[in-house]
Chain A
């Protein structure tokens, strides 16, 4: 059928290509990058993979991961610059090439911006790269002056020979330095000597953004390019059975209709024409076995996970929970639920590709250029070396554009079907909402036993949820446990002698994936709300209750105390205003939140103040960390008040922002960020901020109303954000 259809459309397509060839000329790969990022390579000298120096003393620092607003494109190069001792004002930042990373045996290492790990996982090799380049520049200058390198120092892009006071700029010795054998071992600076790390530095990408010059995947423009809109089977996992495209045949601008395995694509001379035509292509779907799945049937399935005696794994076992519970003075039990959530990156999924002469060029907003490259190579059937993934800014990522590379596979499949012609594929918002890899829904049973003084002696959690690890990267689970599903429960830091944490894997046809803060976006709500239930049952202050249990966890305790202090915990509040508190560790950083709010009779929750504390060990770019905390607040408040993807007839019920609600500016509360870096470790920043917010707000709602919220979103409890 596909071939028959294609034949019908050949004349129109040929005509269009002739026209576009006449207008556009030959294909040039690459497009106008923002001025701040585009650098001429001529005469620039590579000292090592991360540091390139031009004769005019411009320092080019390469950045390997992605920029999606988290600010790492600025803060990661700061780590190189700190040790390089260069003039930050003359630093330009450019992306490392994904293709070169393949050819150069991964000289830039992991290129993925996921898991809040850009700084914490690359800080050591980035600082070493800067220090190594600095030593090579010093050695080159010393050689030229015929003096010992030990008499020379580097500062602000100059090398100075102490005794003679001679100075030379980096640009003058870069060429010689590039031929020096890199030192095997370099000493990194003591944190007390840092000049750049810890200072607020302007983000490199912001000027281009405010001038409208920033380029995202959606903005790629190539000569002769065509545009594709796609429709996927509404039921996850369904296939195309047949299509009838008679209505769009010969329609203006329509080049081709491609029935693929699980989606159809309309290719046209602009995206709007493709998208409009898509509505008039009749598709019969083979929805498979899941056409009757609903939120209610899924809930039953998850409930089974709470009760099963056989199909369950143990994630942690300290002491004897059953015995301790049996002899406890007070027993408390509760069930908590958190729903599926869509990522809703403001830039919908998309991918532009050209497959030509056994080579593939891809332009896509991706959190993992290497994963995009591997997927493109696999779909096109070419070696990795023959693929380049051109780097662009992402219009939001939040985990959607990392592990799942469905959009790249689709874009390259379309480009392969249109071999020789660049095609820009873009999803509609409806496709984006209904074909996500959702934050998993999770049903959790909690039990605890308190002693006569109200202190917990027994703690139990059973998580029933889909495993991301088993279903997306499809990796085997160690001992049957998905660590994301039990995050912040299996690593409970509190001094409780008898703990049992269990996981019942319940996989469904609803695709799940990494959603900003992943398991830490939902389990802290459960853990810290339940902790509040215990404090309440014990008749104790929730802050003091936590403090007593965290005596041997100094980092958790430290951020809890710093946040409570900044919030004025215990001080009187105006009538009708109540506080809630929570504390969590996530991605190697420690967070705490205190919410101050009031709830009116209509269920409008007015958050007067949200105090958000963070201890990430070291802070690289403080203002950017504050921005991440502010953003985390919006992300979590959006999720906890409105976020919910529900399933009906095997498909997502929500489709766009009218029914998948985003928080707006008028709802933004005052957020006070408390940075409490205690030093000695490197924690993440992009995700941890979310973790403590939902429980702090829900605990304050309990204080205000006496009503314990055990499921999200709050709209289902008649509550909304004022």
Chain B
């Protein structure tokens, strides 16, 4: 049995240690926010946080997440309050099909946790997830907007 904490909830799963975290989340724990896009850590649709770090869960064996904290899009809102990144994503109508967006949002949240005021270059470097619909311009705008919100709430 492998113990995981997903969005604050403890679970134990009886699976092969090499089974990717993505598929444990999706098929064993029914956490469907992280998506499958490529299986080789190229697209980032499966991005979740492992102890606060963004990881591509399709390429992380579940054993590497044992006894650690996993945060998915489902756990981002706190007490019914959307995360400022989610709020900015709604305000700027970022998603199109939306399939990549839980990964994009998790990548953006991780960026802003480390860098409260990212430059365009910082965003370029951090946001490597693929969006096939082409929402990149709005992702950039929304990250800047969320950074502003985070700054004003902290002040």
Contacts and interface: CB of A to CB of B under 8 A. Distances in A.
A219 to B, nearest CB: 4
A658 B42 contact: yes
A346 B136 contact: no
A666 B131 CA distance: 12
B45 interface: yes
A434 interface: no
Interface string A373-400: 0000000000000000000011111100
Interface of B: 16, 19-20, 23, 26-28, 30, 32-33, 35-40, 42-43, 45, 72-74, 76-77, 82, 86, 89-90, 93-102, 105, 123-125, 127-140
A203 interface: yes
Interface residues of A, number: 60
Contacts of B42: 656-658
A-B pairs, top 4 by smallest CB distance, nearest first, are A634-B134, A212-B33, A69-B96, A69-B97
A630 interface: yes
A665 B40 contact: no
Interface in A620-654: 623-624, 627, 630-635
A206 B131 contact: no
A272 B135 CA distance: 30
A273 B89 CA distance: 35
25 contacts: A69-B96, A203-B93, A205-B95, A206-B89, A207-B90, A209-B95, A209-B101, A210-B90, A212-B33, A212-B74, A214-B98, A216-B35, A252-B16, A270-B27, A271-B27, A346-B97, A346-B131, A347-B37, A348-B36, A395-B98, A634-B134, A656-B39, A658-B42, A662-B132, A668-B137
Interface of A: 68-71, 202-203, 205-207, 209-216, 218-219, 221, 227, 252, 270-273, 344-348, 393-398, 426, 428-429, 623-624, 627, 630-635, 656-658, 662-666, 668, 670-671
B45 A664 contact: no
Contact of A631 (B90, B129, B134): B134
A345 B134 contact: no
A218 B35 contact: yes
A344 B101 CA distance: 16
Contact of B23 (A203, A213, A272): A272
A169 B135 CA distance: 40
Contact of A658 (B37, B40, B73, B133): B40
B37 A210 contact: no
Nearest to B85: A210
Contacts of A665: 123-124, 127-129, 131, 136, 139-140
A218 B22 CA distance: 13
Contacts of B128: 664-666
Given A70-B96, A221-B32, A662-B130, A210 B89 contact: yes
Given A623-B93, A631-B135, 4 more contacts: A206-B93, A212-B73, A212-B74, A630-B137
Contacts of A397: 97
A393 B98 contact: yes
Contact of B97 (A68, A218, A252, A428): A68
Please classify the interface of chain A as helix (H, G, I), strand (E, B), loop, or mixed, using the class held by over half of its residues. Answer: loop
Contact of B98 (A69, A271, A668): A69
Contact of A346 (B45, B123, B127): B45
Nearest to B40: A656
A348 B36 CA distance: 8
Contacts of B137: 630, 668, 670-671
A426 B36 contact: yes
B32 A215 contact: yes
Contacts of A252: 16
Contact of B38 (A205, A623, A656): A656
A271 B129 CA distance: 23
Contact of A657 (B27, B99, B130): B130
A252 B17 CA distance: 13
Given A271-B27, A395-B35, A346 B72 contact: no
Most B CB atoms within 10 A — which of A627, A630, A671?
A: A627
B90 to A, nearest CB: 6
Contact of A270 (B28, B73, B127): B28
Contacts of B123: 665
Contacts of A345: 132
Given A206-B90, A346-B132, A656-B38, A627 B96 contact: yes
A315 to B, nearest CB: 32
B7 to A, nearest CB: 10
Contacts of A70: 96
A394 B40 contact: no
- Most chain A CB within a 10 A radius of its CB, from B20, B28, B33, B74: B33
A203 B77 CA distance: 20
Contacts of B96: 69-71, 627, 631
B93 A210 contact: no
B98 A630 contact: no
B35 A272 contact: no
A346 B124 contact: no
A347 B136 CA distance: 18
Contacts of A207: 90
A630 B132 contact: no
B97 A212 contact: no
B27 A227 contact: yes
Given A203-B93, A211-B77, A270-B27, A347 B105 contact: no
B138 A346 contact: no
B4 to A, nearest CB: 16
Nearest to A343: B132
Nearest to B83: A210
Contact of B99 (A203, A347, A630): A347
A627 B93 contact: yes
Contacts of B90: 202, 206-207, 210
A632 B30 contact: no
Contacts of A671: 137
A428 B58 CA distance: 12
A426 B37 CA distance: 11
Contacts of A394: 97
A345 B132 CA distance: 7
B13 to A, nearest CB: 11
Interface centre among B82, B95, B99, by most chain A C-beta atoms within 10 angstroms, is B99
A252 B16 CA distance: 9
A398 B133 CA distance: 9
A482 B134 CA distance: 30
